[in-house]
């Protein structure tokens, strides 16, 4: 088979460890690293020392993200491949064999990477998702407050369009202070 990438690395990524296989014309070497930052940085240096230009990784969940970010900083061509596409070959039952198989497939140009947006776009997506979750949590708390008030027979939503707006908060503060005179609250 034709060699497309002369110096490459295959990574089998898990929650607590990464098995890496470097294939170059001189050597085929396999090492295991933990997923702690210092170990991942050591793995990056190890890959670079071998002169690798391409890295492919198999990962499920979000375990690939810190590795991708570190490798991306070093200008390597990185592929995150779907585990289902690689697992179709029978007989590979260990992480070491998986990493070696990924490296061999990459070496011969037989892997297709998943779409990974640019770093800026990934960071923007994370911020937007976080903001969306905060907005959802705030709405849940407002609804919970509304329910508690209704349960206490306080019909604040009937007199204020936004129970946490200026008027709604002023009425709540007066109620908390013990003032129940309807005329004064109005």
* Residue owning tokens 């969940």: 61
Q: Name the pTM for this structure.
A: 0.73
pLDDT for the residue numbered 186: 66
Residuewise pLDDT in 10s, the chain (186 residues): 788 899 999 999 999 999 999 999 999 999 999 999 999 999 999 999 999 999 999 877 889 999 999 999 998 999 999 877 676 555 556 788 888 888 989 998 888 888 999 999 999 999 999 999 999 999 999 999 999 999 988 888 888 888 999 988 988 888 888 887 777 766
What is the architecture of the domain spanning 8-116? 2-Layer Sandwich (3.30)
Token pair 């969306």 is at which residue?
132
Task: Give the per-residue pLDDT at 97.
Answer: 85
What are the extents of the domains in the chain? 8-116, 120-185
Of 19, 27, 30, the residue nearest 57 (C-alpha): 19
């Amino acid at each position: 088979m034709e060699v497309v990438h002369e110096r490459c690395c295959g990574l089998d990524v898990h929650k607590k460890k990464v098995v890496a296989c470097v294939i170059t014309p001189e050597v085929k070497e396999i090492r295991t690293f933990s997923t702690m930052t210092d170990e991942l940085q050591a793995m990056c240096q190890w890959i670079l020392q071998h002169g690798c230009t391409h890295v492919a990784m198999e990962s499920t969940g979000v375990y690939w993200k810190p590795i991708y970010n570190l490798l991306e900083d070093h200008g390597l061509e990185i592929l995150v491949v779907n585990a289902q596409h690689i697992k179709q070959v029978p007989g590979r039952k260990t992480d070491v064999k998986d990493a070696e198989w990924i490296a061999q497939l990459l070496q011969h140009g037989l892997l297709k990477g998943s779409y990974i947006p640019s770093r800026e776009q990934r960071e923007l997506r994370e911020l937007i998702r976080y903001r969306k979750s905060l907005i959802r949590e705030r709405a849940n708390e407002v609804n919970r407050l509304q329910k508690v008030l209704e349960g206490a027979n306080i019909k604040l939503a009937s007199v204020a369009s936004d129970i946490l707006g200026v008027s709604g908060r002023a009425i709540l503060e007066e109620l908390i202070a013990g003032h129940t005179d309807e005329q004064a609250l109005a």
